[in-house]
Structure 1
């Protein structure tokens, strides 16, 4: 039976946050962002291993990380782009996975993934021929801006979804897709699409937001605090 492995690219700098601290280490409820992703996967019984790929010159991991046990592995192999970091990670674990094992690539800066969403993704894709990703249908009207930041046009949103993570594909397919991607695909699904495949969209949730701007941290904190309060209710 194919196993489930998680790969978390965490080699970026998070320049849009306007912080000197790399985004994956920004504090959220007293712990770095990457901690929240790791804790969920480390506790998930269906996940066989979790691989974190960080920058070769990362000197913060030892300071901010928490020991999650033998399931979590760290690789100092981050590349110049997300795609390069993920591919480096895939190559590093080649001897630990089978070609048909599933790889779940998840953003280090998505602390709101829930166990229910993870289970939904695994159940929906474990027998799928291609794989897929969590995503949510776009609800807001889309405006295309011109060079002066004025509205150039209104874009139809019918059939449009906002991609989230995890993005889940077989090891061999994902590795081939990234090797042949040429440029720098913005996510793993785009690389797989370039091979002619159609990844499946699995409904995610708004809470699974990616921390990109400072105000996103406040929203994520509110979500996690609400979770904590619910867990205390008998």
Structure 2
């Protein structure tokens, strides 16, 4: 356990260098419009509105031509860095901008429905335990394992099985070190927790809301818009 600081300021890295091939769109998915704003704007603005978020570091594609047209470009609490070919490269570039911060969060650019409640839960967990953690939701559906021909070989038990979400929060220096080691060993890094796992660092799960969806497929846009409207009504 560490000393709790209600004013703990945590930077957030948002990897946004991807091109979103699965969205079948001419522009990267983070720049698609949702309820009058781009997905990236919703995501970053929601993060910055939380009292414990100090700044947001957005990792952009080197050929990005969209970000500088957004109002976010003029926000002093938003820093941009050049991302890499893989998510982990972008995260690493962002983390190095805040390496002096004790802890940092990483959040997907395409998760605009994140609630402040979930952010607070993640930060509180760290302050209570001293351990890093990720937001996650329990697997509810029956899980099937298939062979290369998409034929079912068996059903997987749902016990202790989770959907990994973001944000993910870890000690900054430890996460940088874990990412660098995993990359050097050519490990497949799908999220920050997988780098921590590779280096045998503890990573806990904090139960998050299932509506913290990631916009990946075209049909996700309508669902995200519905969720945002419902969340706004709750706030009002």
Q: TM-score, normalised by structure 1?
A: 0.91
User: What displacement does 1:68 show?
Assistant: 6.7
Q: Could you say which residue in structure 2 is the equivalent of 1:109? A: 110
Larger deviation: 159-168 or 195-204? 195-204
**Aligned counterpart for 2:211 among listed residues 191, 198, 207:** 207
User: What displacement does 1:231 show?
Assistant: 3.4
| Aligned positions of 1:147-162 closer than 5 A | 147-162=148-163
User: What displacement does 1:150 show?
Assistant: 2.6
- Asked if 1 retains the 8 angstrom alpha-carbon contact of 2:72 and 2:78, the reply is no
Larger deviation: 30-39 or 1-10? 1-10
| Aligned positions of 1:37-116 closer than 5 A | 37-66=43-72, 69-75=75-81, 77-94=82-99, 97-98=100-101, 101-116=102-117
In 2, Cα distance between equivalents of 1:74 and 1:189:
23
- Asked if 2 retains the 8 angstrom alpha-carbon contact of 1:25 and 1:64, the reply is no
Over residues 51-107 of structure 1, what are the superposed CA-to-partner deviations in whole Å (9 max), with x where a residue is unaligned?
A: 1110111111112443573221111x110100111111222334xx24xx1110000
In 2, Cα distance between equivalents of 1:206 and 1:113:
10
Q: Could you say which residue in structure 1 is the equivalent of 2:13? A: 7
Over residues 190-234 of structure 1, what are the superposed CA-to-partner deviations in whole Å (9 max), with x where a residue is unaligned?
A: 1011111221100101110111111111111101111223334xx
Larger deviation: 135-144 or 122-131? 122-131
Partner of 1:163, secondary structure, is: strand
Q: Could you say which residue in structure 1 is the equivalent of 2:175? A: 174
Alignment of 1:185 onto 2:189: yes
Partner of 2:219, secondary structure, is: helix
| C-alpha RMSD of matched pairs (Å) | 1.6
Q: Could you say which residue in structure 2 is the equivalent of 1:143? A: 144
**Aligned counterpart for 1:219 among listed residues 209, 220, 223:** 223
Partner of 1:180, secondary structure, is: helix
Give structure 2 stretches of 5+ with no counterpart: none
In 1, Cα distance between equivalents of 2:181 and 2:200:
12
Q: Could you say which residue in structure 2 is the equivalent of 1:20? A: 26
**Aligned counterpart for 1:198 among listed residues 187, 198, 202:** 202
In 1, Cα distance between equivalents of 2:21 and 2:166:
20
Partner of 1:66, secondary structure, is: helix
Give structure 1 stretches of 5+ with no counterpart: none
In 1, Cα distance between equivalents of 2:178 and 2:234:
41
Q: How many residue pairs align between the two structures?
A: 227
Task: Call closer, same or farther: CA 1:136–1:68 in 2, change over 3 Å.
Answer: farther
